[in-house]
Amino acid sequence: MGITDAKIKETDVIALNTDHVNRFVSEQEIAGAMPGAFDALQSLLRHEGPGSDFLGWLDLPRTPEREIGEITDAAKRIQDENDLLVVVGIGGSYLGSRAAIEALPEETPFPVLFAGNNLSPEYHSRLLSSLEDKRFAVCVISKSGTTTETAIAFRLLRGKLVERFGKDKTGKRIIAITDPDKGALRQMAAEKDWQTFPIPPDVGGRYSVLSPVGLFPCATAGIPLAGLLGGAVSGIDRFTRTDASNEALRYALVRSTLHGRGTIVEVLSTFHPELALFCEWWKQLAGESEGKEHKGLFPASTVLTTDLHSMGQYLQEGNRNLLETFLIAANPRSDIPIPHDGDDLDNLNYISGKTISHVNRKAFEGTLAAHAAGNLPVMTIEVPSITPESLGVLFTFFEVAVAVSGRLAGINPFNQPGVEEYKTRMFKLLEKPGY
């Protein structure tokens, strides 16, 4: 049965459909490679192999109730005393929470802005002016505590807090999320007596969405943590089974087999614009984890149908060195019927009475069939709908799949030595002491 015919039941947390990929990677090949994926998964679960001191993310879905309570209480205080929260962080220190918040507009009534993720003067001056008449708090997130983009934005925002509310009233508007013991931010927070939450030392940035790094901004925005973590618990249990039906292992095997045969780009395509930032989170997770030793699929993304009018041509007829993975939600959270028009000058009455989500679904099914017919390996990851629970499932699905893919490629998925290269050269150019 093809994914387009499948009825996703509310109880199905995720459906992976590889029917259209089997022409390129057969079921026999997947079955033959499965023992290698089991070994890779088991080495992760036994905390062995390269990067084994960065496996704390496997335990994050089961965050203790006491910690969830502390995060929820702090989030409630910030909501009660402010009009908005500014989250300052870059890379793994903001992409996960932003992905969840943008995916769940219904669950996030409290405004959260993101800063510290670029060096644009225009962005920073617009941000500072937008805060002129707002009661705001700042959540600064940095594991190392020394990241330049984060530190610059945080310094500017501290200045704005002092200007707006006075030096004595600034401290209660700052929450710092950083290493529990070391780093400049930890030291600053201790000296200034800011409220803090720890980033577990055995959790790397891009694997930290279910730690306070993601949970505090999400809770402040309004996302129920029980839903997000509940989905993550069911996801981590499901995707760490040494079982041939484990979707994360099957997905990892398809991508690594195709990569071994010359596929160099994986495009994550979604038909839900609210998942655009989720795709950015996935790009960081996959790119920073797997792009090493001149290996790894280059992770790209498209938001459809928008990008069918820009990248659709390439996907249909361009270089066949791509794999396309569709990320789909079966059911919309809300819907709108297309109205009937007596004149029908726009010739749309043939779909009047149908909903926009119905048309979106048919666009997905048509695109899947077209790209498959265009000789592109395509697969589909489908969740029932975009909810805190399904996001929890998706976060854990991709975390396990990328970790296993990295292990299959023989690299350490949990370090990022290449990121230092630009920093060293930039610091030298900036004449930072010691460079």
> Interface with ligand PA5 by CB under 6 A: which residues?
90-93, 142-144, 147, 150, 204-206, 288, 416
To ligand PA5, the closest distance from the beta carbon of 185 in angstroms equals: 8
Contact present, 141 and 89 (Cβ < 8 Å): yes
Type of residue found at 305: T
DSSP per-residue string spanning 282-330: HHHHHHHHH--TT-SPEEEEEETTGGGGTTHHHHHHS-S-EEEEEEEES
Q: How far is the CB of 144 from ligand PA5 (least distance, A)?
A: 3
Q: Which is nearer to ligand PA5, 49 or 205 (CB)?
A: 205
Q: Quote the distance between the C-alpha of residue 154 and its chain's center.
A: 23
Report how far residue 154's alpha carbon sits from residue 174's, in angstroms, rounded to the nearest whole number. 10
Closest distance to ligand PA5 from the beta carbon of 99 (Å): 14
Query: To 10 degrees, what angle do helices 388-408 and 225-239 make?
Result: 40
Cα–Cα distances (Å) from 359 to 30, 141, 350, 366, 383, in that order, read 34, 41, 12, 10, 18
Nearer to ligand PA5, 182 or 340 (CB): 182
Given the complex with ligand PA5, which of 286 and 329 has the nearer CB atom? Answer: 286
Tell me how far apart the alpha carbons of residues 393 and 237 are, in angstroms, rounded to a whole number.
10
Nearer to ligand PA5, 208 or 256 (CB): 208
List the catalytic residues. Answer: 288, 309, 423
Q: Are 85 and 137 in contact (CB under 8 A)?
A: yes
Number of residues assigned to the chain? 435
At 148, list the tokens.
């330049």
Shortest spacing between CB 68 and ligand PA5, in angstroms: 22
Residue closer to ligand PA5 by CB (options 90, 254) is: 90
Minimal distance in Å, beta carbon 362 to ligand PA5? 38
Nearest CA to 95 out of 266, 224, 217 is that of: 217
Q: How far apart are CA 302 and CA 310, in angstroms?
A: 10
- Closest residue to ligand PA5, based on beta-carbon distance: 205
**Residue 16 in 3-state DSSP?**
strand
Tell me the closest approach of the beta carbon of residue 260 to ligand PA5, in angstroms: 26
Query: What is the distance of C-alpha 73 from the center of its chain?
Result: 25
Minimum gap (Å) between residue 205 Cβ and ligand PA5: 2
Residues 25, 28, 31, 35, CA torsion sign:
negative
**Shorter beta-carbon distance to ligand PA5: residue 201 or 374:** 201
Tell the smallest beta-carbon distance from residue 147 to ligand PA5 (Å).
3
Instruction: Quote the tokens at residue 417.
Output: 């030595």
By beta-carbon proximity to ligand PA5, the closer residue of 93 and 108 is: 93
Q: Give the residue with the Cβ less far from ligand PA5, 90 or 303.
A: 90
- Phi and psi of 396, rounded to 5°? -70, -35
**Best CA proximity match to 37, nearest among 254, 237, 204:** 254
Secondary structure E strands in 143-241: 174-178, 195-198
